[in-house]
C-alpha cells in the first residue's frame, strides 16, 4: 500500500533535514507519495497572516500525516506562529517527545540507560493564549484545563505505555498550588489510572519532577503533564541525551499527526550542509510506526544507531572538529540500512489505540453563592473596603473580603499591609445562603459600584456538588 504524506520543507535548515529524511525513507523501498506543500516564512511574506495556505490545509485533510521541517515566525509578517496554527487547526493534542540515550553520544548522563517519553498536552493551559491587560499595568492570562482535554491526554499516555511495552506513568502537576486547574488534571489521572491496572501510576509535583529528571532520569518511563510544564521539561529531556540535533517530536490528534524535530530553523547554520538531521530522522521513525510500518521504522532506527553508535559519525553539533556534511551523513545512514546494533533493545511496538473521550455530563447540583468583582482603583485597601461594604448594604450581598494579587488585604490580616497594586478583587457572598441569586441582583450591585469605581471583570462564585467551585484568597477564612 502506498502511503500519502504531506511534506513541508520549512525554513532555514528545514529543506536540508527534510531532504535527508525523504532520501532515507525512499531508500528503504517503502512506497510513499510525498505531497510537497508550503508553510512558514515564504507564505507569510506572500501576505498570508496564518503562514499556512489553503492548499496545505487541503493536503493535510486528505493525507492526515505530515512530516515537516521547522517553521520560522518572521517578525513583522504574520502575527501567529504557523506551527501553532497547524497544531491548533488539526487538534494535535498529544505532543510526544521520546528521550532516549543514544549510545556513542557522550553527555554528562551517558551510561544511565535513559529511556522515557514525555507526553505533553498540546492545546489547553496557558497556551490557549487568552490574555488581557486588566489595567494598563496588570496583565492576566487564563489557564484553561478541561476534564475532556485532560482525560484525552492521560488516556493517550497510558495507551502509549501499553503500545511501547512500558510499565510506569508519572503525572506531573502543580496541584499543590493550583488546586482547581492542575488539581483537575491530577484528579482525572487518579480516575483514569484505575482502568490501567497493568501500568504503575504515580503523581509527582512538577518541580520535583524537574529535579528527579536530572538526579535519576533512568527512573522515568512515561511522563504526562500539562502544556507549559511539558514545554519546559521536554527541552530539559532533550538536554539529557545530546541536545536539539537528536530530539524528535510527534504531535498526534484524533485525525491528523504531525511529525517534526524539536529544534527550530537554525538560521545560523542554514544552507551550509552541516546540520544534524538525526532529530527529524527519529521523528520519521515515529511517523513510520504511526503508519504501522514497524519493520521499516526499525530498519531506519537501527541504521541511525549504527551510524552514530558504532561508526561514531558525528556532525559539528556533537563533535566540533567534525567535517562531516549532512549529505555524507545521510549517505552513511542509507548504506547502513539493514545493519543492526545490540545496544538498543527493540521494543515490542504495537499500534497505538487513540482514546475516544466524550464531553462529561454537566448535570451536577449547582448553586450560585456570590461573585468576585475585579476593580481598578488607586484607593487604599481600607478606603476601598469601606466604600464597597457601604454600597453593598442594601443589596442581598455582603463584602466578604478584598484581595490584591491573591492575598486578602481587607479586612487586613494580623495588621500586615502587603504591597499592593491598582488591581483588586472584591468578593461578595449572599447574606442569606438560602436565598437564590438572579443575574439582576448581581448586575444591580455592579451598577451601583460602577457609579463610584472602575470595574473590569466579574466572575460568578458557584458551588458544584455542594463544594465551592472557586479557591480562597491567601489568608481568607
Ligand atoms: P533553533 O532550534 O533553530 O536553534 C538553536 C541553536 O541550536 C542554534 O545554534 C542552532 O544552530 C542549533 N541547532 C538547532 N537544530 C540543530 C540541528 N539539527 N543540528 C545542529 N545544530 C542545530 O532555535 P531558535 O534559534 O530559537 O529559533 C530559530 C527559529 O526557529 C525561530 O523563528 C523560531 O520561531 C523557529 N522555531 C520553530 C520550531 C518549529 O517549527 N517546530 C521550533 C522552535 C523554533
Same-domain status, 227 and 255 = no
Q: How far is the CA of 242 from the centre of ligand 1 (A)?
A: 15
* Nearest protein Cα to ligand 1, atom 30: 264
In a domain, 355, yes or no: no
Task: Give the DSSP per-residue string, 150-175.
Answer: HHHHHHHHHHHHHHTT--EEEEEE-T
Task: List, for residues 211-251, the tens digit of each pLDDT value.
Answer: 999 999 999 999 999 999 999 999 999 999 999 999 999 99
* Nearest protein Cα to ligand 1, atom 22: 245
Same-domain status, 222 and 255 = no
For residue 141, the enclosing domain spans 106-241
Q: How far is the CA of 266 from the centre of ligand 1 (A)?
A: 4
What are the CB-based long-range contacts (under 8 Å, 24+) for 387-394? 387/452, 387/453, 388/426, 388/449, 388/453, 391/445, 391/448, 391/449, 391/452, 392/428, 392/445
Report the distance separating Cα 159 and Cα 153, nearest Å: 10
How far from 248 is each of 260, 264, 334, 383, 467, CA to CA, in Å? 7, 12, 19, 57, 43
Ligand 1, pocket-test mutation among 19, 258, 263, 284, most atoms within 8 A of CB:
263
Please indicate whether residue 278, judged by its CB atom, sits closer than 6 Å to ligand 1: no
Q: What are φ and ψ of residue 327, in 5° steps?
A: -65, -45
Q: How many domains does the chain divide into?
A: 3
Cβ contacts of residue 270 below 8 Å, gap of 6+? 12, 13, 16
Q: What are φ and ψ of residue 356, in 5° steps?
A: -105, 115
The ligand 1 atom at the shortest distance from the C-alpha of residue 316 is 20
Report the distance separating Cα 113 and Cα 62, nearest Å: 40
Ligand 1, pocket-test mutation among 235, 265, 270, most atoms within 8 A of CB:
265
In a domain, 60, yes or no: yes
Nearest to 14 by CA among 74, 75, 73, 71: 71
Same-domain status, 124 and 141 = yes
Nearest to 69 by CA among 109, 13, 27: 13
Residues 203 and 190 sit within 8 Å (Cβ to Cβ): yes
Q: How far is the CA of 109 from the centre of ligand 1 (A)?
A: 23
Domain final position from 223, 241, 259: 241
Q: How far is the CA of 332 from the centre of ligand 1 (A)?
A: 24
In a domain, 266, yes or no: yes
pLDDT score recorded for residue 174: 98
* Nearest protein Cα to ligand 1, atom 37: 264
Same-domain status, 275 and 374 = no
pTM comes to 0.93
pLDDT score recorded for residue 79: 60
Residues 92 and 122 sit within 8 Å (Cβ to Cβ): yes
Q: How far is the CA of 328 from the centre of ligand 1 (A)?
A: 22
- Per the DSSP assignment, residues forming a β-bridge with 427 are 372, 401
Report the distance separating Cα 141 and Cα 164, nearest Å: 36
Task: Produce one character per residue of 407-446: b if its CB has 16 or more CB atoms within 10 Å, e if not.
Answer: ebbbeebeeeebebebbbbbbbbbeeeeeebeeebbeebe
* Nearest protein Cα to ligand 1, atom 44: 264
Please indicate whether residue 342, judged by its CB atom, sits closer than 6 Å to ligand 1: no
Q: How far is the CA of 285 from the centre of ligand 1 (A)?
A: 21
> What is the three-class DSSP state of 82?
helix
The ligand 1 atom at the shortest distance from the C-alpha of residue 82 is 40
Ligand 1, pocket-test mutation among 67, 95, 235, 266, most atoms within 8 A of CB:
266
Tell me the three cell numbers of residue 366.
449547582
In a domain, 475, yes or no: no
* Nearest protein Cα to ligand 1, atom 36: 264
Same-domain status, 275 and 321 = yes
What CATH number does the domain containing 283 carry?
A: 3.40.718.10
Low-confidence ranges of the chain (pLDDT < 50): 78
Report the distance separating Cα 329 and Cα 21, nearest Å: 11
pLDDT score recorded for residue 467: 94
Same-domain status, 234 and 273 = no
The ligand 1 atom at the shortest distance from the C-alpha of residue 40 is 40
In a domain, 97, yes or no: no
Amino acid at each position: 500500500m502506498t502511503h500519502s504524506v504531506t511534506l513541508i520543507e520549512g525554513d532555514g535548515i528545514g529543506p536540508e533535514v527534510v531532504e535527508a529524511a525523504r532520501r532515507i525513507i525512499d531508500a528503504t523501498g517503502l512506497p510513499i507519495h510525498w505531497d510537497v506543500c508550503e508553510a512558514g516564512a515564504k507564505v507569510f511574506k506572500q501576505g498570508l497572516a496564518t503562514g499556512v495556505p489553503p492548499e496545505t490545509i487541503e493536503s493535510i485533510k486528505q493525507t492526515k500525516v505530515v512530516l515537516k521541517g521547522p517553521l520560522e515566525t518572521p517578525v513583522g509578517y504574520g502575527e501567529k506562529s504557523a506551527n501553532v496554527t497547524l497544531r491548533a487547526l488539526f487538534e494535535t493534542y498529544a505532543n510526544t517527545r521520546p528521550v532516549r540515550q543514544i549510545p556513542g553520544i557522550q553527555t554528562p548522563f551517558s551510561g544511565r540507560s535513559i529511556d522515557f517519553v514525555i507526553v505533553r498536552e498540546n492545546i489547553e493551559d496557558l497556551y490557549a493564549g487568552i490574555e488581557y491587560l486588566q489595567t494598563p499595568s496588570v496583565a492576566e492570562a487564563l489557564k484553561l484545563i478541561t476534564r475532556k482535554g485532560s482525560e484525552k491526554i492521560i488516556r493517550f499516555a497510558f495507551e502509549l505505555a501499553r503500545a511501547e511495552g512500558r510499565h510506569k506513568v508519572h503525572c506531573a502537576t502543580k496541584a499543590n498550588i493550583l488546586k482547581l486547574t492542575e488539581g483537575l488534571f491530577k484528579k482525572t489521572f487518579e480516575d483514569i489510572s484505575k482502568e490501567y491496572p497493568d501500568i504503575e501510576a504515580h503523581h509527582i509535583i512538577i518541580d520535583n519532577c524537574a529535579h528527579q529528571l536530572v538526579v535519576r532520569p533512568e527512573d522515568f518511563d512515561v511522563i504526562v503533564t500539562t502544556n507549559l510544564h511539558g514545554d519546559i521539561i521536554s527541552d530539559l529531556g532533550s538536554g539529557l541525551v545530546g541536545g536539539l540535533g537528536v530530539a524528535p517530536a510527534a504531535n498526534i490528534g484524533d485525525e491528523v499527526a504531525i511529525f517534526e524535530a524539536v529544534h527550530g530553523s537554525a538560521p545560523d547554520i542554514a544552507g551550509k550542509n552541516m546540520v544534524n538531521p538525526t532529530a527529524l530522522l527519529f521523528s520519521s521513525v515515529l511517523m513510520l510506526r504511526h503508519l504501522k510500518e514497524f519493520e521499516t521504522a526499525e530498519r531506519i532506527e537501527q541504521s541511525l544507531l549504527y551510524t552514530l553508535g558504532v561508526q561514531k559519525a558525528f556532525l559539528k553539533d556533537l563533535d566540533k572538529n567534525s567535517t562531516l556534511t549532512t549529505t555524507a551523513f545521510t549517505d552513511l545512514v542509507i548504506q547502513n540500512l539493514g545493519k543492526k546494533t545490540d545496544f538498543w533493545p527493540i521494543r515490542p511496538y504495537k499500534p497505538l489505540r487513540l482514546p475516544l473521550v466524550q464531553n462529561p455530563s454537566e448535570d451536577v447540583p449547582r448553586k450560585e453563592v456570590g461573585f468576585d468583582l475585579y476593580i481598578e482603583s488607586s484607593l487604599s485597601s481600607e478606603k476601598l473596603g469601606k466604600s464597597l461594604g457601604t454600597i453593598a448594604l442594601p443589596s442581598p450581598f455582603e463584602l466578604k473580603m478584598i484581595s490584591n494579587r491573591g492575598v486578602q488585604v481587607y479586612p487586613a490580616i494580623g495588621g500586615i499591609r502587603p504591597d499592593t497594586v491598582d488591581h483588586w478583587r472584591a468578593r461578595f457572598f449572599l447574606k442569606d445562603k438560602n436565598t437564590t441569586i438572579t443575574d439582576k441582583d448581581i448586575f444591580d450591585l455592579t451598577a451601583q459600584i460602577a457609579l463610584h469605581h472602575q470595574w473590569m471583570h466579574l466572575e460568578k462564585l458557584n458551588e458544584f456538588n455542594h463544594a465551592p467551585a472557586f479557591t480562597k484568597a491567601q489568608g481568607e477564612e
